[in-house]
Amino acid sequence: MILGLTLICALINHIFLLISLGVGILSLMIFSKILKRVSTFLGLFILFAVTAIAITAFITADWRYALDYFSPFLARFFIIISAGLLFAFTTPPHNFAQSLQQMKFPTAVTFTMGISLRYIPTLAGEAESIFQSLKLRGIKFSKWEVIKNPSYFYRGIIIPLIIRTIKISDEIAIAAESRGFKCDQKRNSLHKISIGKNDVLFLSTLSLIFIIIIFLDKNLLFLSLS
């Protein structure tokens, strides 16, 4: 939802408005106490932004041009990324899958989604075991090594990971059916997720901000043209 609305706001042209929107989302992050955990991702983004600008500036030998050219693009990018992170870090996967289920999405979609989120830590564990096995066989896995010898990466990580994934997914499928799961049936849920007061408040505030921003954007555009 946030993601979709941010996409619309990415239509805005004025850098000043984009930045204020970015600051807004950042403050929401601070409010929900996830800033520390998302800082790695944001750091990566900033690194990317600085390199992109630096490279363009180096090629064109014109700092102002590079900055002008990239800043609206990067600001939009920043908004989309941070909105996505805000969502990912504040919504438990099970709740998300369940909301979709209640919104009458097909069970096949919601179940698959719930399961794939559930198994991310498991797969991370599998990947760690595989890394350790490679280390035991004396294969060092630095970034340089991967570039120098991509076959190690493919044989050493992708193949065992695919084999494990297939095996695990087979087991999951059997276990699910054994517990009465069927794709085309009507499921019930123990806890209903409903739209609360906060959700309505958040949604209406957000819509209001959007309308104002789009209005301002059009008018500023008009002003700057005249």
Partner 1 sequence: MLDYALEINNLNFKYPHQINQALKNIGVKIKPGEFLFITGKSGCGKSTLARCLNGIIPHIMGGEFSGEVLVKSKNTLQHEISDLAQDIGFIFQNPESQFFTVKVEDELAFAPENMGLNPPEIEDRIEWALNEVEMGEYRFENVFNLSEGQKQRIAVAANLTLLPDILVLDEPTSNLDPPAARKLFKILGKLQRQNKTIILIDHRTNYALQLADRVLIMDQGEIVQDQKPDILLDEDTRKHYGIRNPQVLDDNFSPVNNETKPQKPLLNIFKLHYSYGNGFSLDDINLHISPGEVLGVVGANGSGKTTLAKVLAGILKPDKGSISWSNDDSSFKVGMIFQNPDHQLFMDSVYNELNFGLEELKLKTEEAAYKIDLILNSMNLAKLKKRHPHSLSGGEKQRTLISAFLVREPHLLIMDEPTTGMDYYHMQKVVREINRLQKEDLGIMIISHDLEFLQQTTTRLVILSQGKLIKEGPTEKLLTKENLRQCFPGYHGLSS
Q: What is the contact surface with partner 1 in residues (CB under 8 A)? A: 92-94, 111, 114-115, 118, 121-122, 126, 129-130, 132-139, 152, 155-156, 159-160, 163-164, 167-168, 171-182, 185-192
Helices (H), 61-92: 63-90
CB of 136 to partner 1, least distance (A): 6
In this complex, which beta carbon is closest to partner 1, that of residue 82 or of residue 98? Answer: 98
Alpha carbon separation from 59 to 26, 50, 63, 65, 68 (Å, rounded): 32, 14, 10, 11, 15
- Minimum CB separation of residue 9 from partner 1 in Å reads 33
Residues 192-209 as b/e (b if ≥16 CB within 10 A, e otherwise) read eeeeeeeeeeeeeeeeee
Minimum distance between the CB of residue 143 and partner 1, rounded to whole angstroms?
17
Nearest CB to partner 1, comparing residues 68 and 177: 177
Q: What are phi and psi of 213, to 5 degrees?
A: -65, -45
- Comparing CB distances to partner 1, the nearer of 64 and 143 is 143
HSE-up (13 A, CA, CB side) for residue 98: 14
Q: Which is nearer to partner 1, 190 or 195 (CB)?
A: 190
53 or 115, CB closer to partner 1? 115
| Min separation Cβ 106 and partner 1, Å | 15
Collapsing DSSP to helix, strand or coil, 189 comes out as coil
Please state, in angstroms and rounded to a whole number, the distance separating the CA atoms of residues 164 and 126.
8
Of 28, 27, 22, the closest CA to residue 10 belongs to 22
Closest contact distance (angstroms) between CB of 36 and partner 1 is 17
Kindly tell me which of 64 and 140 has the beta carbon lying closer to partner 1.
140
Do 9 and 49 contact (CB within 8 A), yes or no? Answer: no
Residue 149 CB, nearest distance to partner 1 (Å)? Answer: 10
